Chains A and B, each alone.
Chain A
Amino acid sequence: MRTIEAKVVVLGAQGVGKTSLVVRYIGKMFNHHISPTIGASFFTCKINVEDTRVKLQVWDTAGQERFRSMAPMYYRNANAALLVFDITQHETFEAVKGWVKELQRNVEEPLVLNLVGNKTDLVGARQVSHDEALIYAQNIGGSYFESSALQDHGVEEVFLDTALGIIRLGEEHPLQSSIRIYESTSESSLNSLQSVNRNPQHCKNVDDVVVHTDGAPHAETERPFLCC
């Protein structure tokens, strides 16, 4: 059983729904519990894919323009970046392009880039077309997702694909220093896993979530993926 630890940074302009996305995802993980989240800016989640456990550390960033100069501190040593924009506001898409350029310029290590067009519930006011975003995502070598944090649509997929991307990254760049890969010996919780789908996007049935909470503000969850 391999464990990969990776750092995911969420970037995007203010008001695009970065936090909503994160909160929605945390909320799904704690679906049967009273939400213990008092802070949603940092959380850890464990996603099990095949024989690998991916520990994602999701770092939310402040979207205010005044903190823009501080961004390098956040994405330093990151392994993946979620670039969130608002499909109803084209300037947020432009901002994402700016982020990508900045990342490409400042981060030497390979990075998983996932583009997320949020607020699909407001499809009527759409300003960024699906194709435009998709083409851009392909250009930068990333994937494109559309989500609605409000209606809880397509949120999970974003994080799952990020986990898969990190696994790929770990395989492609085995000497990657910032991704911590280590073999874990005895993890009883994982022995129950029987069949793991390589494409967790299609997964609809989700087992009971194993939640480790100690009253900390940030969640750490473990979730095995089973095929339907």
Chain B
Amino acid sequence: MYAIKTPSLRIDEADLKCKNGCGFYGNSEWGGYCSKCHREHLQRERQRKNIAHSSAHISEREHGGDNAKSSVAGFSKFEEKKRQHLKKTKLLKIFRKSSSARDSGRPEQTQEGASKNPELEKLKQDHQELFSNLGHRVEHDVHKHISSFYKAIREFVDVETIDELSEKVQNLYQVFAKRMDASSNYINVTAEQKEMLLDYIEKYVMTCLYRLLFCPASTNDEEKDLLIQDRIRQLNWVNAKHLGCIINETQSEVWDLVYTAITDVLGMDSAKAPQDKLNCVVRCCRNIFLLLQQSVGGPASADEFLPALIFIVLKANPARLKSNINYITRFCNASRLMSGEGGYYFTNLCCAVSFLENLTAESLNIPADEFQQYMSGKVVPPNTWESALMMCEGMHLMYEHLAILDDLRKRHVCLIQGTAALKDDISKFKNDIATKVEAVLSRTPLTIRPKRTPTDLDSEDPTCESLPPPIVPQIIAPQVGSDAISQKILVSETESSQEITSRQDLFLPSSTSSIPQSSSQDYLSPSPVFGLSNSFDELATPDEIYAAQESLSFVQGLTAVNYDIDLSDLSADNSYAEDLAITDSIKPDVSLPLEPKMNEDVSSSLLDTNESPTAGGLLPSPIKPVLSEEYKGFSAQGWQIPSIPCNTGDSLPTISSQSVVAHSSEPISLPLTNSERKDYKVASEINDANSVSGLPVEGSGSSSQMEDTLVKALSGVMSTFDRLF
């Protein structure tokens, strides 16, 4: 065993050489001869046999005894051909060494019924039932026949032409058929079983001999295969329409069947027995009928079938098509091939191949020049197989997308419904709010107006007026000091305001008359700084107003701080304003930036005392009497000061503010002296303070208007909502 496994180690080199001693290596397959000697040996053997039997075929004799008997004119030519053939065989043998080595041991195996070939094993298993029914005798006889069959063919494979082999094989089929009819072993075998046995023999022997008989080197099958393959490749532009083939390209089931049919016809090459190959063709054709039934909507006829088959073959481009067809034609049981379904389909396949081989422009019903262009590849027809496939893909995608769109549409409808519901909710909410606001409006306006106006400020003023006499005697001792302080504060206040105006002039260089205006504006309406001109008027609650006041005071402080910084930067540049400042009797402390800030703080605290009603009880008393009494006597505008709180209490906030502006703007036209201007400053300061303190009065007094504005604002918000949807 071991020796056989590794022959090169144990066997002498001489054993490997040709038995003839020609020096070449021999081969066990060739009986220990080298290829050349083996051939010669075979020929000699055959010659001897021929002479002995003297019943050999003429052609066979020609092949066998080429050197002895036939001395025809074209002998040398024949010899040449023969040699080529053998050379080819030899070459092929090299490529198929492994398989032929397996084949070599087969005659014995077939006799014993135990094969290494898995296909044969399977075949045996498939027929196990049949043989168990028929009995051991039949099985034995069949295998005996197979063995002799195999031997008979195997012997002539290398030396006879493929047609002779085909004839032999067909004869052997017939011999076996007759034997089954004649032999006593087969008395109990039905016709159907005989057919099966015949099939079995065919399959078995042909599977064994497949490598030797399929596409043999002695034929030009391979070249034809390549030719038809190239031809089909060239014709790949031909589509179903060209062939007049009714294939419903848009149906996916039809395409599945097309692919199945293509797979079936491609599977023909992998089958070994001619009958199996034929079955592949039959399967393919049945699928074509199925797909035609889908496309046509009824039983398909030959008119529809043949073009479809051509189409399938064209698109499949089966491997070794010609070889397969020839193999089936040669070695399939002729009686089967000539008749029956398989025969019909096979004929159609041959027709299809022949059609493709001889395809012309005429047979496709297209102009010759167009055909030529297609063939040369210059022009590609628009509706080729690929484009059809692409269309299929496209259709598939389209359907998918349509499904997605459907989904999206559903979602969109949901969204629209949702938005409508939301809109309804919003409008409902809007109405709710409106009704609530109306309810509030109808509930509140009458109660608020008279309530607040007298409580906070109107009561304050009389108290202020009525308070001084009891307070003054209380603070008699420090009054001089306090007056001085207050005066000092006021002076510093004027200084700061003066300074502010001068700073303001830096940015607004204009005529001298415009200076107080700018300052007054700056003081009265802090809105330009914050952009709150409207909102400030619309502020409703007293808290907010306080906050606004605080912010106002903060703004004052802030502006002061800012101006200081500006001053330090631009002290050298400000010429006009400084000139004005210099002309003043009291020089503004331009060089002292910190001083106004401190003063501002003081003034703001002074303002706070004025504003807050709680604090007003404690501190305003020493200040207010001083202010009102002293300034009334001082300035020409003094008469206006007490009038403002009185007016503002009744009048609209806009008017009051305008009146304040008007008051403040009034002195613009007046030619003022420096002292007067200083007085005016102070007055405006007070004015401002009053107006600021008056604001809550105005705000609380005009609550109905504020509510109106609130409603306006709300409706504005709602209109924006409406615009959104």
Contacts and interface: CB of A to CB of B under 8 A. Distances in A.
Interface string A23-58: 100100000000101111110100000000000010
Given A41-B301, A186-B190, A218-B341, A67 B292 contact: no
Contact of A62 (B306, B341, B344, B358): B306
A99 to B, nearest CB: 15
Nearest to B334: A77
B467 interface: no
Contact of B339 (A40, A61, A180): A180
Given A14-B303, A19-B301, A19-B303, A64 B347 contact: no
A62 B307 CA distance: 9
Nearest to B339: A57
B428 interface: no
A119 interface: no
A178 B339 CA distance: 10
Interface in A201-215: none
A218 B363 CA distance: 29
A41 B300 contact: yes
Contacts of A66: 244, 355, 362-365
B339 A73 contact: no
Interface centre among B299, B350, B363 (most CB of A within 10 A): B299
B439 interface: no
B254 interface: no
A178 B337 CA distance: 12
Contacts of A57: 339-340, 344
A40 B301 CA distance: 5
A18 B302 CA distance: 9
A217 interface: yes
B339 A41 contact: no
Contacts, number: 96
A175 B345 CA distance: 27
A74 B349 CA distance: 11
Contacts of A44: 340-341
Interface in B42-56: none
B350 A59 contact: no
Given A38-B290, A66-B363, A60 B301 contact: yes
Contacts of A185: 191
A71 to B, nearest CB: 9
B302 A62 contact: yes
A12 B484 CA distance: 139
Given A178-B338, A186-B190, A69 B358 contact: yes
Nearest to A180: B335
B431 interface: no
Given A7-B339, A60-B302, A218-B341, A70 B351 contact: yes
A18 B339 contact: no
Contacts of A180: 335, 339
**Secondary structure of the B contact surface, majority rule:** helix
Nearest to B346: A73
Given A40-B299, A184-B191, A70 B339 contact: no
A216 interface: yes
Contacts of B84: none
Given A67-B351, A73-B350, A39 B299 contact: yes
Given A7-B338, A180-B335, A180-B339, A70 B355 contact: yes
A154 interface: no
Contacts of B362: 66
B305 interface: yes
A69 B350 CA distance: 12
Residues of B in contact with A, size category: 20 to 34
Nearest to B337: A77
B286 interface: yes
Given A64-B244, A66-B363, A39 B289 contact: yes
A63 interface: yes
Interface centre among A59, A61, A63, A217 (most CB of B within 10 A): A217
A41 B341 contact: no
Contacts of A217: 286, 289-290
A42 B344 contact: yes
A82 interface: no
A77 to B, nearest CB: 5
Interface in B488-516: none
A5 interface: yes
A38 B293 contact: yes
B303 A63 contact: yes
A49 B299 CA distance: 29
Contacts of B363: 66
A73 B347 contact: yes
A35 B299 CA distance: 9
Interface string A69-97: 11001100100000000000000000000
Contacts of A42: 341, 344-345
A84 to B, nearest CB: 12
Nearest to A183: B181
Interface in B277-315: 286, 289-290, 292-293, 299-303, 305-307
Interface centre among B301, B355, B358 (most CB of A within 10 A): B301
Contact of A77 (B191, B303, B338): B338
Given A39-B289, A39-B300, A41-B302, A74 B347 contact: yes
A165 B116 CA distance: 52
Contacts of B335: 180
Nearest to B347: A73
B341 A216 contact: yes
A164 interface: no
Contacts of B301: 18-19, 22-23, 39-41, 60
B191 A67 contact: no
A22 B351 CA distance: 21
Contacts of A59: 344, 347
Interface in A186-228: 186, 216-218
Nearest to A7: B339
Contacts of A77: 338-339
A126 B158 CA distance: 64
B354 interface: yes
B339 A39 contact: no
A60 B299 CA distance: 13
Contacts of A186: 190
Given A5-B339, A73-B347, A41 B305 contact: yes
Contacts of B299: 23, 26, 35, 37-40
Given A7-B339, A40-B299, A41-B302, A73 B354 contact: yes
Contacts of A39: 286, 289, 292-293, 299-301, 305
A67 B307 CA distance: 9
The 7 closest A-B pairs by CB, nearest first: A19-B301, A39-B289, A41-B302, A60-B302, A70-B351, A62-B306, A42-B344
17 contacts: A23-B301, A38-B299, A39-B292, A39-B299, A39-B300, A39-B305, A40-B300, A42-B344, A57-B344, A66-B244, A66-B355, A66-B362, A70-B354, A70-B355, A73-B351, A216-B341, A217-B290
Interface of B: 190-191, 244, 286, 289-290, 292-293, 299-303, 305-307, 335, 338-341, 344-345, 347, 350-351, 354-355, 358, 362-365
Given A41-B300, A41-B301, 14 more contacts: A23-B299, A39-B292, A39-B293, A39-B299, A39-B300, A41-B344, A42-B345, A57-B339, A62-B305, A62-B306, A66-B362, A69-B358, A73-B354, A74-B347
